Amino acid sequence: MNIVILAAGAGKRMHSALPKVLHPLAGRPLLSHVLDTARTLKPTRLVVVIGHGGDQVREAVAAPDVQFALQQQQLGTGHALQQALPLIDPSVPTLVLYGDVPLTRASTLQRLADAAGPGGYGVLTVTLADPTGYGRIVRDAAGNVTRIVEQKDATEEQRRIAEINTGIVVVPSGPLAGWLAALKNENAQGEFYLTDVVEHAIGAGVRVVTAQPDDEWETLGVNSKQQLAQLERIHQRNVADALLVAGVTLADPARIDVRGALACGRDVSIDVNCVFEGDVTLADGVRVGPNCVIRNAAIGAGTRIDAYTHIEDATVGAHAVLGPYARLRPGAKLADEVHVGNFVEVKNSVIGHGSKANHLTYVGDSDVGARVNLGAGTITCNYDGANKHRTVIEDDVFVGSDTQLVAPVHVGRGVTIAAGTTVWKDVSADALVLNDKTQIAKPGYVRPVKQKK
Protein backbone atom coordinates (compact mmCIF):
# COMPACT_ATOMS: atom_id res chain seq x y z
CA MET A 1 0.00 0.00 0.00
CA ASN A 2 1.13 3.57 -0.72
CA ILE A 3 0.51 6.12 1.99
CA VAL A 4 0.12 9.78 1.08
CA ILE A 5 -0.12 12.35 3.85
CA LEU A 6 -1.66 15.69 2.90
CA ALA A 7 0.18 18.46 4.73
CA ALA A 8 0.20 21.48 2.45
CA GLY A 9 -2.50 23.54 4.15
CA ALA A 10 -1.72 26.86 5.84
CA GLY A 11 -3.42 26.46 9.17
CA LYS A 12 -4.46 30.11 9.33
CA ARG A 13 -6.41 29.64 12.54
CA MET A 14 -3.27 28.63 14.43
CA HIS A 15 -2.10 32.27 14.12
CA SER A 16 1.49 31.09 14.05
CA ALA A 17 4.62 31.35 11.93
CA LEU A 18 5.12 27.62 12.40
CA PRO A 19 3.44 25.45 9.73
CA LYS A 20 0.40 23.77 11.26
CA VAL A 21 1.62 20.19 10.91
CA LEU A 22 4.78 21.07 12.89
CA HIS A 23 2.93 22.19 15.99
CA PRO A 24 3.83 19.76 18.76
CA LEU A 25 1.56 17.20 20.31
CA ALA A 26 3.22 15.40 23.22
CA GLY A 27 6.41 17.26 22.32
CA ARG A 28 6.59 16.11 18.68
CA PRO A 29 5.18 17.56 15.45
CA LEU A 30 1.66 16.51 14.56
CA LEU A 31 3.01 15.19 11.27
CA SER A 32 5.54 12.96 13.08
CA HIS A 33 2.69 11.19 14.86
CA VAL A 34 0.99 10.55 11.51
CA LEU A 35 4.28 9.30 10.03
CA ASP A 36 4.81 6.94 12.99
CA THR A 37 1.37 5.44 12.52
CA ALA A 38 1.90 5.20 8.77
CA ARG A 39 5.18 3.34 9.27
CA THR A 40 3.56 0.66 11.40
CA LEU A 41 1.55 -0.27 8.25
CA LYS A 42 4.79 -0.90 6.32
CA PRO A 43 3.90 1.22 3.28
CA THR A 44 5.42 0.52 -0.14
CA ARG A 45 5.82 4.27 -0.61
CA LEU A 46 5.42 7.02 1.97
CA VAL A 47 4.76 10.45 0.51
CA VAL A 48 4.11 13.76 2.25
CA VAL A 49 2.46 16.52 0.22
CA ILE A 50 3.95 19.82 1.37
CA GLY A 51 3.14 23.41 0.46
CA HIS A 52 2.86 26.08 3.15
CA GLY A 53 6.19 26.20 4.98
CA GLY A 54 7.27 23.30 2.80
CA ASP A 55 11.01 23.63 3.43
CA GLN A 56 10.49 23.73 7.17
CA VAL A 57 8.22 20.69 7.07
CA ARG A 58 10.64 18.78 4.87
CA GLU A 59 13.54 19.54 7.21
CA ALA A 60 11.58 18.59 10.31
CA VAL A 61 10.53 15.12 9.18
CA ALA A 62 13.13 14.17 6.56
CA ALA A 63 13.95 10.46 6.64
CA PRO A 64 15.18 7.91 4.10
CA ASP A 65 11.73 6.33 3.81
CA VAL A 66 9.84 9.60 3.21
CA GLN A 67 9.36 11.30 -0.16
CA PHE A 68 7.99 14.79 -0.58
CA ALA A 69 5.65 16.15 -3.25
CA LEU A 70 5.31 19.89 -3.50
CA GLN A 71 1.87 21.44 -3.98
CA GLN A 72 2.72 24.98 -5.08
CA GLN A 73 -0.79 26.33 -4.63
CA GLN A 74 -3.42 24.90 -2.34
CA LEU A 75 -6.14 24.18 -4.85
CA GLY A 76 -7.89 21.48 -2.84
CA THR A 77 -7.44 17.99 -1.43
CA GLY A 78 -7.87 16.31 -4.85
CA HIS A 79 -5.21 18.58 -6.33
CA ALA A 80 -2.94 17.83 -3.37
CA LEU A 81 -3.18 14.08 -3.91
CA GLN A 82 -2.53 14.58 -7.62
CA GLN A 83 0.91 16.03 -6.79
CA ALA A 84 1.89 12.73 -5.14
CA LEU A 85 0.97 10.55 -8.13
CA PRO A 86 4.46 10.43 -9.72
CA LEU A 87 5.86 9.06 -6.46
CA ILE A 88 3.42 6.22 -5.79
CA ASP A 89 3.34 2.61 -6.94
CA PRO A 90 0.22 2.30 -9.17
CA SER A 91 -0.02 -1.46 -8.62
CA VAL A 92 -1.02 -1.21 -4.93
CA PRO A 93 -3.80 0.81 -3.23
CA THR A 94 -3.18 4.28 -1.81
CA LEU A 95 -4.14 5.28 1.72
CA VAL A 96 -4.64 9.03 2.14
CA LEU A 97 -4.03 10.56 5.58
CA TYR A 98 -4.00 14.15 6.83
CA GLY A 99 -0.93 15.63 8.48
CA ASP A 100 -3.11 17.42 11.01
CA VAL A 101 -5.04 14.33 12.21
CA PRO A 102 -2.51 12.80 14.61
CA LEU A 103 -4.32 10.23 16.74
CA THR A 104 -5.73 7.68 14.29
CA ARG A 105 -4.95 4.13 15.39
CA ALA A 106 -3.06 1.91 12.95
CA SER A 107 -5.66 -0.82 13.59
CA THR A 108 -8.39 1.51 12.32
CA LEU A 109 -6.46 2.22 9.12
CA GLN A 110 -5.81 -1.49 8.65
CA ARG A 111 -9.51 -2.20 9.09
CA LEU A 112 -10.30 0.36 6.38
CA ALA A 113 -7.69 -1.12 4.03
CA ASP A 114 -8.97 -4.64 4.67
CA ALA A 115 -12.57 -3.56 4.02
CA ALA A 116 -11.58 -1.95 0.71
CA GLY A 117 -9.47 -4.91 -0.43
CA PRO A 118 -7.07 -4.58 -3.34
CA GLY A 119 -9.50 -2.95 -5.81
CA GLY A 120 -12.13 -1.31 -3.60
CA TYR A 121 -12.64 2.28 -2.49
CA GLY A 122 -12.75 2.73 1.28
CA VAL A 123 -13.89 5.78 3.22
CA LEU A 124 -13.36 6.12 6.96
CA THR A 125 -16.55 7.65 8.30
CA VAL A 126 -17.93 8.49 11.71
CA THR A 127 -21.35 9.52 12.95
CA LEU A 128 -21.23 12.74 14.93
CA ALA A 129 -23.77 14.40 17.21
CA ASP A 130 -22.79 17.66 15.51
CA PRO A 131 -21.57 17.07 11.94
CA THR A 132 -21.32 20.79 11.11
CA GLY A 133 -18.40 21.66 8.85
CA TYR A 134 -17.65 18.17 7.60
CA GLY A 135 -18.34 16.49 4.30
CA ARG A 136 -21.49 14.31 4.56
CA ILE A 137 -21.80 10.72 3.37
CA VAL A 138 -24.81 10.49 1.03
CA ARG A 139 -26.29 6.99 0.66
CA ASP A 140 -29.06 5.59 -1.53
CA ALA A 141 -32.12 3.67 -0.29
CA ALA A 142 -30.10 0.45 -0.26
CA GLY A 143 -27.49 2.11 1.95
CA ASN A 144 -24.78 2.35 -0.72
CA VAL A 145 -22.58 5.44 -0.73
CA THR A 146 -23.45 7.59 -3.73
CA ARG A 147 -21.40 10.71 -3.06
CA ILE A 148 -19.76 12.92 -0.45
CA VAL A 149 -21.04 16.46 -0.22
CA GLU A 150 -19.13 19.26 1.48
CA GLN A 151 -20.90 21.37 4.13
CA LYS A 152 -20.72 24.46 1.94
CA ASP A 153 -22.27 22.64 -1.05
CA ALA A 154 -24.88 20.64 0.89
CA THR A 155 -28.64 21.13 0.82
CA GLU A 156 -30.59 21.57 4.06
CA GLU A 157 -31.55 17.92 3.92
CA GLN A 158 -27.99 16.74 3.31
CA ARG A 159 -26.79 18.83 6.23
CA ARG A 160 -28.98 16.72 8.50
CA ILE A 161 -26.86 13.65 7.65
CA ALA A 162 -24.79 12.82 10.73
CA GLU A 163 -22.37 10.40 9.06
CA ILE A 164 -19.31 12.39 7.99
CA ASN A 165 -16.20 11.93 5.88
CA THR A 166 -13.13 11.83 8.10
CA GLY A 167 -11.04 12.52 5.00
CA ILE A 168 -9.13 9.26 5.36
CA VAL A 169 -9.63 7.07 2.30
CA VAL A 170 -8.13 4.04 0.58
CA VAL A 171 -8.28 4.23 -3.20
CA PRO A 172 -7.20 1.95 -6.05
CA SER A 173 -4.10 3.63 -7.49
CA GLY A 174 -4.30 2.48 -11.11
CA PRO A 175 -7.36 4.49 -12.15
CA LEU A 176 -6.65 7.32 -9.66
CA ALA A 177 -4.73 9.53 -12.10
CA GLY A 178 -7.66 9.54 -14.51
CA TRP A 179 -10.19 10.27 -11.79
CA LEU A 180 -8.13 13.14 -10.36
CA ALA A 181 -7.57 14.62 -13.82
CA ALA A 182 -11.34 14.61 -14.35
CA LEU A 183 -12.10 16.61 -11.19
CA LYS A 184 -13.75 19.98 -11.61
CA ASN A 185 -13.58 22.87 -9.18
CA GLU A 186 -17.13 24.05 -9.76
CA ASN A 187 -18.19 24.16 -6.14
CA ALA A 188 -18.69 26.60 -3.30
CA GLN A 189 -14.95 26.76 -2.49
CA GLY A 190 -13.61 26.64 -6.07
CA GLU A 191 -11.38 23.70 -5.07
CA PHE A 192 -10.57 20.32 -6.58
CA TYR A 193 -12.18 18.09 -3.98
CA LEU A 194 -10.78 14.64 -3.31
CA THR A 195 -14.25 13.80 -2.07
CA ASP A 196 -15.60 14.04 -5.62
CA VAL A 197 -13.40 11.13 -6.70
CA VAL A 198 -15.85 8.71 -5.08
CA GLU A 199 -18.43 9.46 -7.79
CA HIS A 200 -15.90 8.69 -10.52
CA ALA A 201 -15.08 5.43 -8.78
CA ILE A 202 -18.76 4.49 -8.55
CA GLY A 203 -19.16 5.36 -12.24
CA ALA A 204 -16.30 3.00 -13.04
CA GLY A 205 -18.06 0.21 -11.14
CA VAL A 206 -15.65 0.20 -8.22
CA ARG A 207 -17.02 -1.13 -4.93
CA VAL A 208 -17.24 1.64 -2.30
CA VAL A 209 -17.13 0.60 1.35
CA THR A 210 -16.95 2.46 4.64
CA ALA A 211 -15.25 1.60 7.93
CA GLN A 212 -15.44 3.25 11.33
CA PRO A 213 -12.83 3.92 14.02
CA ASP A 214 -13.25 2.51 17.55
CA ASP A 215 -13.17 6.03 18.96
CA GLU A 216 -14.33 9.34 17.57
CA TRP A 217 -11.14 11.15 18.69
CA GLU A 218 -9.12 9.09 16.23
CA THR A 219 -10.47 11.26 13.45
CA LEU A 220 -10.17 14.67 15.08
CA GLY A 221 -8.02 17.21 13.28
CA VAL A 222 -6.20 20.28 14.47
CA ASN A 223 -7.24 23.63 13.05
CA SER A 224 -6.82 25.84 16.12
CA LYS A 225 -4.88 26.00 19.35
CA GLN A 226 -8.06 24.98 21.15
CA GLN A 227 -8.28 21.77 19.15
CA LEU A 228 -4.56 21.17 19.63
CA ALA A 229 -5.01 21.48 23.39
CA GLN A 230 -8.01 19.11 23.30
CA LEU A 231 -6.08 16.47 21.37
CA GLU A 232 -3.13 16.83 23.72
CA ARG A 233 -5.41 16.02 26.66
CA ILE A 234 -6.96 13.06 24.83
CA HIS A 235 -3.52 11.73 23.98
CA GLN A 236 -2.20 12.19 27.52
CA ARG A 237 -5.27 10.48 28.95
CA ASN A 238 -4.65 7.53 26.61
CA VAL A 239 -1.01 7.34 27.72
CA ALA A 240 -2.04 7.51 31.38
CA ASP A 241 -4.62 4.76 30.86
CA ALA A 242 -1.99 2.54 29.27
CA LEU A 243 0.31 3.11 32.27
CA LEU A 244 -2.50 2.26 34.69
CA VAL A 245 -3.35 -0.88 32.72
CA ALA A 246 0.32 -1.87 32.95
CA GLY A 247 0.18 -1.53 36.74
CA VAL A 248 1.74 1.89 37.32
CA THR A 249 0.22 3.88 40.18
CA LEU A 250 -0.67 7.42 39.13
CA ALA A 251 -1.82 9.82 41.84
CA ASP A 252 -3.99 11.47 39.19
CA PRO A 253 -4.12 10.22 35.58
CA ALA A 254 -5.23 13.70 34.51
CA ARG A 255 -2.03 15.24 35.85
CA ILE A 256 0.83 13.50 34.07
CA ASP A 257 2.42 14.45 30.76
CA VAL A 258 4.47 11.99 28.75
CA ARG A 259 6.26 13.52 25.78
CA GLY A 260 8.12 10.52 24.50
CA ALA A 261 8.35 6.95 25.71
CA LEU A 262 8.02 6.13 29.40
CA ALA A 263 8.84 2.53 30.33
CA CYS A 264 7.98 1.45 33.87
CA GLY A 265 8.73 -1.68 35.85
CA ARG A 266 6.45 -3.15 38.53
CA ASP A 267 5.18 -1.12 41.45
CA VAL A 268 6.21 2.24 40.09
CA SER A 269 4.30 5.18 41.49
CA ILE A 270 4.11 8.68 40.10
CA ASP A 271 2.69 11.64 41.97
CA VAL A 272 0.93 14.59 40.32
CA ASN A 273 2.26 17.06 37.73
CA CYS A 274 5.25 15.11 36.51
CA VAL A 275 6.54 15.59 32.97
CA PHE A 276 8.47 12.83 31.20
CA GLU A 277 10.30 13.68 27.98
CA GLY A 278 12.22 11.55 25.50
CA ASP A 279 13.09 8.02 26.59
CA VAL A 280 12.64 7.48 30.29
CA THR A 281 12.91 4.17 32.10
CA LEU A 282 11.76 3.73 35.69
CA ALA A 283 12.75 0.33 37.09
CA ASP A 284 10.74 -1.67 39.62
CA GLY A 285 9.59 0.18 42.68
CA VAL A 286 10.66 3.67 41.62
CA ARG A 287 8.65 6.38 43.35
CA VAL A 288 8.44 9.80 41.74
CA GLY A 289 7.20 12.70 43.85
CA PRO A 290 5.11 15.60 42.59
CA ASN A 291 6.28 18.19 40.05
CA CYS A 292 9.30 16.34 38.71
CA VAL A 293 10.61 16.79 35.17
CA ILE A 294 12.51 13.78 33.84
CA ARG A 295 14.01 13.71 30.36
CA ASN A 296 16.01 10.91 28.71
CA ALA A 297 16.94 9.08 31.88
CA ALA A 298 17.15 5.62 33.34
CA ILE A 299 16.30 5.28 37.02
CA GLY A 300 17.25 2.12 38.93
CA ALA A 301 15.01 -0.07 41.04
CA GLY A 302 13.72 1.21 44.35
CA THR A 303 14.99 4.74 43.83
CA ARG A 304 12.96 7.56 45.33
CA ILE A 305 12.74 10.90 43.54
CA ASP A 306 11.27 13.57 45.73
CA ALA A 307 9.29 16.63 44.70
CA TYR A 308 10.53 19.22 42.20
CA THR A 309 13.50 17.20 41.02
CA HIS A 310 14.75 17.78 37.46
CA ILE A 311 16.67 15.09 35.61
CA GLU A 312 18.04 15.31 32.08
CA ASP A 313 20.24 12.87 30.14
CA ALA A 314 21.27 11.08 33.32
CA THR A 315 21.38 7.61 34.81
CA VAL A 316 20.64 6.75 38.41
CA GLY A 317 21.31 3.42 40.09
CA ALA A 318 19.12 1.44 42.44
CA HIS A 319 17.89 2.58 45.84
CA ALA A 320 19.10 6.12 45.37
CA VAL A 321 17.32 9.08 46.98
CA LEU A 322 17.01 12.31 45.00
CA GLY A 323 15.53 15.64 45.93
CA PRO A 324 13.42 17.41 46.83
CA TYR A 325 14.73 20.09 44.46
CA ALA A 326 17.65 18.11 43.05
CA ARG A 327 18.92 18.72 39.55
CA LEU A 328 20.74 16.14 37.47
CA ARG A 329 22.07 17.63 34.24
CA PRO A 330 23.42 15.86 31.15
CA GLY A 331 26.09 13.29 31.87
CA ALA A 332 25.22 12.74 35.54
CA LYS A 333 25.79 9.07 36.40
CA LEU A 334 24.81 8.09 39.91
CA ALA A 335 25.60 4.64 41.27
CA ASP A 336 23.37 2.65 43.63
CA GLU A 337 22.34 4.15 46.96
CA VAL A 338 23.57 7.65 46.14
CA HIS A 339 21.76 10.47 47.93
CA VAL A 340 21.45 13.83 46.22
CA GLY A 341 19.40 16.29 48.20
CA ASN A 342 17.90 19.75 47.95
CA PHE A 343 19.53 22.33 45.69
CA VAL A 344 22.23 19.95 44.59
CA GLU A 345 23.24 20.14 40.93
CA VAL A 346 25.22 17.38 39.25
CA LYS A 347 26.56 17.74 35.70
CA ASN A 348 28.79 15.47 33.61
CA SER A 349 29.91 13.61 36.72
CA VAL A 350 30.06 10.12 38.10
CA ILE A 351 29.09 9.62 41.73
CA GLY A 352 30.02 6.27 43.25
CA HIS A 353 28.13 3.78 45.38
CA GLY A 354 26.58 5.15 48.53
CA SER A 355 28.00 8.66 48.23
CA LYS A 356 25.96 11.57 49.52
CA ALA A 357 25.56 15.23 48.61
CA ASN A 358 22.57 16.20 50.64
CA HIS A 359 22.47 19.99 50.51
CA LEU A 360 23.33 22.99 48.35
CA THR A 361 26.15 21.55 46.29
CA TYR A 362 27.49 21.76 42.73
CA VAL A 363 29.25 18.73 41.30
CA GLY A 364 30.42 19.41 37.74
CA ASP A 365 32.91 17.49 35.58
CA SER A 366 33.82 15.29 38.51
CA ASP A 367 34.60 11.69 39.35
CA VAL A 368 33.41 11.03 42.85
CA GLY A 369 34.18 7.64 44.38
CA ALA A 370 32.17 5.47 46.72
CA ARG A 371 31.06 6.37 50.26
CA VAL A 372 32.07 10.00 49.79
CA ASN A 373 30.29 12.62 51.86
CA LEU A 374 30.01 16.03 50.23
CA GLY A 375 29.00 18.51 52.92
CA ALA A 376 26.55 21.34 52.45
CA GLY A 377 27.78 24.01 50.08
CA THR A 378 30.49 21.95 48.39
CA ILE A 379 31.36 23.49 45.03
CA THR A 380 33.53 22.02 42.31
CA CYS A 381 35.00 25.06 40.57
CA ASN A 382 35.20 23.40 37.16
CA TYR A 383 35.40 26.48 34.95
CA ASP A 384 38.33 28.88 34.79
CA GLY A 385 36.51 31.31 32.55
CA ALA A 386 37.80 29.62 29.41
CA ASN A 387 37.98 25.85 29.91
CA LYS A 388 36.36 23.15 32.01
CA HIS A 389 38.52 20.92 34.22
CA ARG A 390 37.86 17.72 36.15
CA THR A 391 37.77 17.12 39.85
CA VAL A 392 38.60 13.63 41.11
CA ILE A 393 37.52 12.65 44.59
CA GLU A 394 38.45 9.09 45.53
CA ASP A 395 36.56 6.67 47.77
CA ASP A 396 35.80 7.44 51.42
CA VAL A 397 36.62 11.14 51.25
CA PHE A 398 34.86 13.40 53.72
CA VAL A 399 34.29 16.91 52.39
CA GLY A 400 33.38 19.45 55.06
CA SER A 401 30.74 22.07 54.42
CA ASP A 402 31.44 25.13 52.31
CA THR A 403 34.42 23.64 50.49
CA GLN A 404 35.59 24.72 47.06
CA LEU A 405 37.53 22.28 44.91
CA VAL A 406 39.37 24.25 42.23
CA ALA A 407 39.75 21.97 39.20
CA PRO A 408 41.82 20.33 37.94
CA VAL A 409 42.35 18.77 41.34
CA HIS A 410 42.72 15.24 42.69
CA VAL A 411 41.77 14.24 46.22
CA GLY A 412 43.11 10.84 47.29
CA ARG A 413 41.09 8.20 49.08
CA GLY A 414 40.23 8.65 52.71
CA VAL A 415 41.07 12.36 52.77
CA THR A 416 39.24 14.60 55.22
CA ILE A 417 38.63 18.17 54.11
CA ALA A 418 37.84 20.63 56.88
CA ALA A 419 34.84 22.91 56.59
CA GLY A 420 35.46 26.09 54.67
CA THR A 421 38.51 24.83 52.80
CA THR A 422 39.55 25.89 49.32
CA VAL A 423 41.34 22.92 47.79
CA TRP A 424 43.48 24.03 44.84
CA LYS A 425 46.29 21.49 45.03
CA ASP A 426 46.14 17.71 44.86
CA VAL A 427 45.86 15.93 48.20
CA SER A 428 47.28 12.48 48.78
CA ALA A 429 45.38 9.70 50.52
CA ASP A 430 44.34 9.81 54.17
CA ALA A 431 45.43 13.43 54.77
CA LEU A 432 43.51 16.11 56.61
CA VAL A 433 43.37 19.24 54.51
CA LEU A 434 42.50 22.70 55.74
CA ASN A 435 43.41 26.28 54.99
CA ASP A 436 45.44 28.38 57.33
CA LYS A 437 42.91 30.81 58.79
CA THR A 438 42.62 32.50 62.11
CA GLN A 439 39.46 33.30 64.01
CA ILE A 440 39.40 36.72 65.53
CA ALA A 441 36.76 37.68 68.11
CA LYS A 442 36.54 41.26 69.41
CA PRO A 443 34.53 41.39 72.61
CA GLY A 444 31.89 44.06 73.18
CA TYR A 445 31.44 44.96 69.54
CA VAL A 446 28.88 47.69 68.87
CA ARG A 447 26.95 47.50 65.62
CA PRO A 448 26.38 50.62 63.53
CA VAL A 449 23.02 52.26 64.17
CA LYS A 450 20.90 53.70 61.36
CA GLN A 451 21.09 57.48 61.34
CA LYS A 452 17.87 59.50 61.45
CA LYS A 453 17.41 61.93 58.50
Among residues 52, 359, 389, 410, which one is catalytic? 359
Q: Which listed residue (125, 165, 373, 416) binds ligand UD1 by CB under 6 A? A: 165
Query: Which of 7, 427 has the CB closer to ligand UD1?
Result: 7
Q: Does 195 bind ligand UD1 (CB under 6 A)?
A: yes
What's the maximum distance between 2 C-alpha atoms anywhere in the chain?
Answer: 107
Rounded to whole angstroms, the Cα distance separating 311 from 294 reads 5
Q: Which listed residue (19, 54, 167, 377) binds ligand UD1 by CB under 6 A? A: 167
Q: Which listed residue (1, 3, 7, 231) binds ligand UD1 by CB under 6 A? A: 7
Q: Does 99 bind ligand UD1 (CB under 6 A)?
A: yes
Label residues 60-72 b or e (16+ Cβ within 10 Å = b).
bbeeeebebbebe
Give the annotated binding-site residues for UDP-N-acetyl-alpha-D-glucosamine.
6-9, 20, 71, 76-77, 98-100, 135, 150, 165, 223, 329, 347, 362, 373
Q: Does 218 bind ligand UD1 (CB under 6 A)?
A: no
Shortest Cβ 406–ligand UD1 spacing (Å):
58
Active site residue 359: yes
- Residue nearest ligand UD1 (C-beta atom): 135
Shortest Cβ 31–ligand UD1 spacing (Å):
9
Beta bridge partners of 236: none
Q: Does 6 bind ligand UD1 (CB under 6 A)?
A: yes
Shortest Cβ 131–ligand UD1 spacing (Å):
9
Q: Which listed residue (38, 80, 126, 286) binds ligand UD1 by CB under 6 A? A: 80
Give the annotated binding-site residues for Mg(2+).
100, 223
| x-or-dash string of contact with ligand UD1, 100-139, rule CB under 6 A | x---------------------------------xx----
- Within 53-72, the residues that bind ligand UD1 by CB under 6 A are 71
Q: Which one of 2-10, 61-69, 208-216, 317-325 is the stretch in contact with ligand UD1 (CB under 6 A)?
A: 2-10
**Residue 111 backbone dihedrals phi, psi, to 5 degrees:** -60, -40
Rounded to whole angstroms, the Cα distance separating 391 from 309 reads 24
Size of the site for ligand UD1 (CB under 6 A): 28
Label residues 309-324 b or e (16+ Cβ within 10 Å = b).
bbbbebbbbbbbbbbb
Query: Which of 121, 134 has the CB closer to ligand UD1?
Result: 134
Task: Tell me which residues are annotated as active site.
Answer: 359
Q: Which residues bind ligand UD1 (CB under 6 A)?
A: 6-9, 49, 51, 71, 74-77, 79-80, 98-100, 134-135, 148, 150, 164-167, 193-195, 221
